[in-house]
Amino acid sequence: MIRTALFAFAAIATVTTASAQPAGPVRGFSIPPAGQWAVLRMGQDKVSQCVMGLRSDAAAPLPGQPQFMISADNQFAILRVRAAEWSFSGGRDIAVTIALGDGSEQQPAAAVRGNDLIDIALGAGTDFGQLAKSDHLDIRAEGTNVRLPLKGLRDALPAFRDCLASLARPEIQASLGR
């Protein structure tokens, strides 16, 4: 009984403390439906990084349905991809080739970060407009090809570019998921 009373008191104290705190950097945002692109501004007191990706409801990638996002700031851009087709052990560098629908290819630096996860360095000067002109991006790694759908990326680019333009500027009310 004492334990129940202590838990009840702790819960009331937590709710009271939480509701009495002044407004902080927490901001609300709307989540788009699965299959639509989302753009998020990240940072504590000011925007320090921008993230865009195709939203998924799946907890893990399914065969033929990779999960991916692009994270960027003033110095870098990284494509983070999870794919059910991959099965890696341990973190390490990995050779990858990325190819757009027009046939252009690059071999950027990349690293395995998990059993189904690769981070690919796109570079700060990445032309996201060129990516948006393609309907897909193929990633070849260790004999396996994973295709990322890029349909709808063009519609997300204005919000992503706005986010990149706001990097390191204090934000009073961030507009997330524009």
Task: State the pTM of this model.
Answer: 0.74
Domains parsed from the chain with CATH numbers: 37-165 (2.60.40.1880)
Can you tell me which residue has the tokens 């819960």?
Answer: 11
Determine the 3-state secondary structure of 40 from DSSP: strand
Average pLDDT of the chain, as a whole number:
78
Q: Quick one: pLDDT band at residue 30, thresholds 50, 70, 90?
A: low
d(CA 76, CA 54): 20
